[in-house]
Chains A and B, each alone.
Chain A
């Protein structure tokens, strides 16, 4: 029974380890090589008013 648990633990460890490595390298790569990815605010609402004619909860 202990042997099975050990195999499960190793399999789990490897799967999670690869996942974490993938996530960390992905995030570092994104920060390192990709610039201006965030699309800017399309519109600056300063000075423009949204005029609400009706607001209700049904």
Chain B
């Protein structure tokens, strides 16, 4: 949907900083409501002109009659402006257009992603895999969301946020720090917001006391909760790990949907409907519910041993939530970082400079080896009596400390590696294809 400027007819774009639709040509600014009202008026005038023109042509009327018709159109338009009449917009197939909107659909031939683009903006590369293999597919009538969380973070802020994070990283290669700014796209990600009633009766087991007084106790909790607006990502293109890391969104700022908010941004299409997402919504609800219940149990290692959950999906509403996607290339591989379009939270992991990493590791290993050798020599060389009863405990403590270091280090490396894989758009693309094949 294109919103034209009431003053110069240029295409308006939504500016998150001022929550207004701005004209890049004449600099005028309007609220989304004003812009949409003007656009509806324009659309209606075009329809009425076309209808009256066709009627007069059919009746073989003269130019003078056409002028009369034009005068009548102006009068009706004035009445609409004055709210003297209400106008209902009905599309050619007879369906009310309130729940649908027209979008240009672009398809990526590399990863299969589909993006709905609004306004006059043309897409030149895929926001998901970064390939310039995106082609215009069709004009489509899409289900209109009920809610939209407008972008609060502007493109420059998103880029600066990512740049700031990357510049702080001592292992981030210089090529990544100087990424190409053009490849940043604001995308409204489709979500379903679920209202879920959840009830559960639980028997829990926990440990109380410490040392010799440690005992296992059992607890019973029965509770219910009405969860409002549980967010579930409805896009196959965006993997669930990434979308969960984008959260939280402050849904108190959510607004009733106006197509004007999409101007200047892409909007991803939902390809998982509310029924397909029911399991995800209930799963997330259960996790939160159990966590809250466990907080009320004054014990450690709390586990549910028996329970009887019941739930009811009360409502599911389609909403669009904002995210910035930054795609860049490093060693011919595309990577995509995300920024929460409302809070500015940066999500993603980037490849590291191996030479720097190895250098630091070697230096640290040599220094700490020397320190630990001196300490060990000091301990084993007489300070500690190896024949005493406490030797076993000492060896166990040393072993535990060593295990802690190795586990921490290996865990950190594995986490970074896993997240780099997620950030690699080619991995995302493969993931998308796998999920599409499942259906």
Contacts and interface: CB of A to CB of B under 8 A. Distances in A.
Given A30-B416, A35-B165, A48-B228, A13 B374 contact: yes
Contact of A19 (B338, B381, B406): B406
Nearest to A49: B225
Looking at A10, A36, A53, A56, the one whose CB has the most chain B CB atoms below 10 A away is A36
Interface in A7-21: 8-10, 12-21
Looking at A16, A35, A51, the one whose CB has the most chain B CB atoms below 10 A away is A35
Given A13-B375, A50-B292, A56-B220, A34 B416 contact: yes
A7 B350 CA distance: 41
A36 B411 contact: no
Interface in B381-414: 381, 398, 401-402, 404-406, 408-413
Interface of A: 2, 5-6, 8-10, 12-45, 47-58
B94 to A, nearest CB: 41
Interface string B223-246: 111111010000000000000111
Nearest to A52: B223
A58 B220 contact: yes
A36 B347 contact: yes
Contact of B408 (A14, A23, A37): A23
A3 B376 CA distance: 13
B66 to A, nearest CB: 60
B414 to A, nearest CB: 9
Contacts, number: 217
Interface stretch (B127-135, B312-320, B358-366): B358-366
A35 B348 contact: yes
Contacts of A49: 225
Interface of B: 165, 168-172, 201, 203, 217-228, 230, 244-248, 284, 287-289, 292-293, 296, 337-338, 345-352, 357, 360-362, 364-377, 379-381, 398, 401-402, 404-406, 408-413, 415-416, 419-420
Contact of B169 (A15, A33, A37, A52): A33
B308 to A, nearest CB: 12
Contacts of A35: 165, 337, 346-349
A31 B412 CA distance: 10
A26 B222 contact: no
Given A2-B381, A37-B419, A43 B227 contact: yes
B247 to A, nearest CB: 4
B349 A12 contact: no
A58 to B, nearest CB: 4
Contacts of B296: 52, 55
Nearest to A13: B373
Given A21-B368, A28-B360, A34-B416, 20 more contacts: A2-B381, A13-B377, A15-B402, A17-B372, A21-B365, A22-B406, A22-B413, A26-B408, A26-B413, A28-B171, A29-B413, A33-B416, A34-B415, A35-B165, A35-B346, A40-B345, A43-B284, A50-B224, A54-B220, A54-B222
